[in-house]
Amino acid sequence: MQHLKLLANDNRGLNELENGTGLVGWNEVTQGSILPSFEGDATNIAHLKSEERTYSGYNSYTATVASWRVLKPVYNRDICIDCQNCWVWCPDSSILSRDKQMLGIDYDHCKGCSVCVEVCPTNPKSLIMFSEQTLLEDALTQWPEKKKKEDK
Ligand code: SF4
Ligand code: SF4
């Protein structure tokens, strides 16, 4: 699994969500409970980047669902044109982008749905699905060539 820690205080994906963690399910939480999303004062938290916020252990940001995935998207920086299509369409906000530049995949939260691959417009695509076990460096060596236009 790739960990893309943007800052030292980034607590993304610390908790593995699976049986035996001692965490209760959403349907077991006592009515009236308050589960704070952030540790401490959350004033102006909307102005901070996600990795600068101190998320509490109750927030899904601190959880990882990487073990749910069978296929993963692999990103090829050499081909990407930073169009942001993948960032816009990802249903899990798992495309990491800063200042309109694609940075990579948040593998702690990506579910492997392949929507980002479908909407990537480059030739060849800058995102391709590989099996979860494939090493990122191996995937990059298997990248397809540019498809030629068919003769009319
Ligand atoms: S595979 Fe799905 S969840 Fe993962 S980054 Fe792509 S669009 Fe997002
Ligand atoms: S959709 Fe493809 S080309 Fe556009 S930013 Fe994402 S990876 Fe890059």
Mean pLDDT, range 68-80, rounded to an integer: 95
Q: Ligand 2: does its nearest atom lie under 6 Å from the Cβ of 118?
A: no
Read off the pLDDT of residues 61-73 as tens digits, 9 standing for 90 and up. Answer: 888 888 889 999 9
Domain positions in the chain are 7-64, 66-141
Which three-class secondary structure state does DSSP give residue 51? helix
Question: 83-121 pLDDT, tens per residue?
Answer: 999 999 999 999 999 889 999 999 999 999 999 999 999
92's tokens: 């899990």
User: Would you identify the CATH topology of the domain 66-141?
Assistant: Alpha-Beta Plaits (3.30.70)
Ligand 2 proximity of 83 Cβ (cutoff 6 Å): yes
> For ligand 1, which residues put their CB under 6 angstroms from it?
73, 90, 92, 94-95, 105, 110-116
The alpha carbon of 139 and the centre of ligand 2 are apart by a number of angstroms equal to 17
pTM score: 0.80
Calpha distance 140→2 (Å, rounded)? 14
Atom 2 (ligand 2) nearest CA:
120
**% of the chain surpassing 70 pLDDT:** 84
